[in-house]
Structure 1
Amino acid sequence: MSYFKFNDKKIYYRELGSGTPLLLLHGNTASSNMFEEVVSLYEANNKLILIDFLGHGKSDRLDKFPADLWFYEAQQVIAFLKEKNYKNVNLIGTSGGALVAINVALEAPQLVNKVIADSFEGETPLVEFVVNADVERAESKKDEDTKAFYAAMHGDDWNQVVDNDTNAIIEHAINIGKFFHKELSSLKPEILLTGSKKDEYVGAIDPEYFEKVYGLMITKIGHGNYYLFDAGGHPAMMSNPELFYQLSMDFFYKDE
């Protein structure tokens, strides 16, 4: 297994295939294991890179997650790309990983070629999720299928990982409230926002949630597009694997 150091802690990563580097960024309570079912698709035509953020998967654990979690994880990605001397990297971030991908593009555009940000709530936390986070996460830890997912992502200490994530989400919403440190208008790489019209997290709030939030973000950025799948749940990348793969390859390589 391969690791690199960030703030004296080890971050796990894998590199597969060859070609243009493509880094997949996992979401909250997940790890790079979430992408196992689609690895064979992407490694065929890309230099595929997978990492586990600190506190997740096979990376070193943290006693507590920082409240500015998605910016902190972006700093890990930037440090990794610089250490490995990667440039013109394509990024796909899904759910919380989408927030990380956008932060990377805002903070280190010189390292990034194009970005796909999939199935995320927008520029600010989703109030309806945050206010129920404690209760919903406690319930999730009783559900056998969800417990199996957590264990597959992290191993035997999954419970602490989930609790750390829940606490960070709540603390962020109370004390910070914005996911990005820079204005979206400063984002330089090409960007595509994706989601599913059947996303179970936002659909109950507003059936047109993504259209409204993504549309506003694209207006602020000043370039880019969004695409919504008619079917599939959260995240769209994993619930529409073949269609999402084709969409992503068309986006990344349309000019070549």
Structure 2
Amino acid sequence: MSQAQTPTQTAGLELNDVSIYYETYGQGEPLLLLHGYTQSSKSWKDFVEYYAQDYKVYLIDLRGHGKSSPFTETFKVEDATKDILALIQTLKLEKIKGIGFSFGGDVLLQLSSMSPETVESMVVIGSNADWDAQNYPDMLEAFTYENIEQFAWIRDFHAGGEEQVQSVIEQLANYNIKMSADELARIKANTLLILGDREQISVESVVSLSKKIDNSALWIMPNTGHYAHQGDNREEFIRISKKFLAQKNE
């Protein structure tokens, strides 16, 4: 294991009545890597060495996930976003850059609207700031704890055992985000939106999103599903994302 993949710090902070776990790697400007729903910061481990060459990388377990506190209240993307803002403020990080996948991308979009001066640039993968789990009844019917053996990989991400795994699955039904045009107009960050052309979120919705965010760029990956940053696209994603994050916000 390379030095960049060994945490320089691991910690849990009490924020907004929950414990939020994070790890840091490398040195430099702060770069937050935020995972998708049902995942944890472990999903970014294989990417750390590439970003820690240039940044102080923060791997964070979002509310309810990983080593952070399990859900005790109804899940809201806004609450997870407020946790990240509180973490940034507690650590006295003046500005941050971020990469967010799916749920993590929605958090970055909401964070950059909630506190426009905080986020300098961000890469958002598989998110459109307009998604409601209730619009996908077939998914909710299949994605239940009773069917956990079909989704056993979820267990690898969470430290709280079966109770936490069950809560993550059950809270998916409450996933709902719909940012208004006014909220999106508040975003000042350089923004790279990435979407696979074969995923559930429509290309049209992300094109529309890009038009509502100043300083945004759009990358549609052909023949690609939700995990657009992984698999055969991984090396190109790392190269392009690093180049984008290195740009200065005019």
TM class by shorter-chain length? 0.7 to 0.9
Structure 2, gaps ≥5 residues long: 1-9
Paired residues for 1:197-216 under 5 Å: 197-199=197-199, 201-202=200-201, 209-210=202-203, 212-216=204-208
Taking structure 2 as the reference length, the TM-score comes to 0.85
1:85: how far off? Answer: 0.8
**Structure 2 residue matching 1:23: 3-state secondary structure:** strand
Whether 2:93 is the aligned partner of 1:86: answer: yes
Deviations for 1:155-203, whole angstroms, at most 9, x for unmatched residues? 4624x44543444443455xxx62569521121111111021233x34x
1:89: how far off? Answer: 0.7
Deviations for 1:18-59, whole angstroms, at most 9, x for unmatched residues? 112110111111110111121222212211001112221111
1:234: how far off? Answer: 2.2
Name the CA distance, whole Å, in 2 between partners of 1:140 and 1:244.
Answer: 33
Whether 2:162 is the aligned partner of 1:151: answer: no
What is the aligned partner in structure 2 of residue 243 from structure 1?
A: 236
Read off the aligned partner of 2:216 and give its amino acid letter.
Answer: G
Aligned partner (choices 209, 213, 218) of residue 221 of structure 1? 213
Whether 2:27 is the aligned partner of 1:18: answer: yes
**Number of positions where the alignment pairs a residue of Structure 1 with one of Structure 2:** 238
**Structure 1 residue matching 2:78: 3-state secondary structure:** helix
What is the aligned partner in structure 2 of residue 133 from structure 1?
A: 139
Query: CA 1:51–1:182 in 2, change beyond 3 Å: closer, same or farther?
Result: farther
- Which structure has greater strand proportion? 2
Name the CA distance, whole Å, in 1 between partners of 2:235 and 2:175.
Answer: 34
Taking structure 1 as the reference length, the TM-score comes to 0.83
RMSD, matched Cα: 2.4
Query: CA 1:236–1:83 in 2, change beyond 3 Å: closer, same or farther?
Result: same
Name the CA distance, whole Å, in 1 between partners of 2:77 and 2:182.
Answer: 13
Name the CA distance, whole Å, in 1 between partners of 2:180 and 2:61.
Answer: 21
Name the CA distance, whole Å, in 2 between partners of 1:116 and 1:180.
Answer: 20
Name the CA distance, whole Å, in 1 between partners of 2:174 and 2:234.
Answer: 33
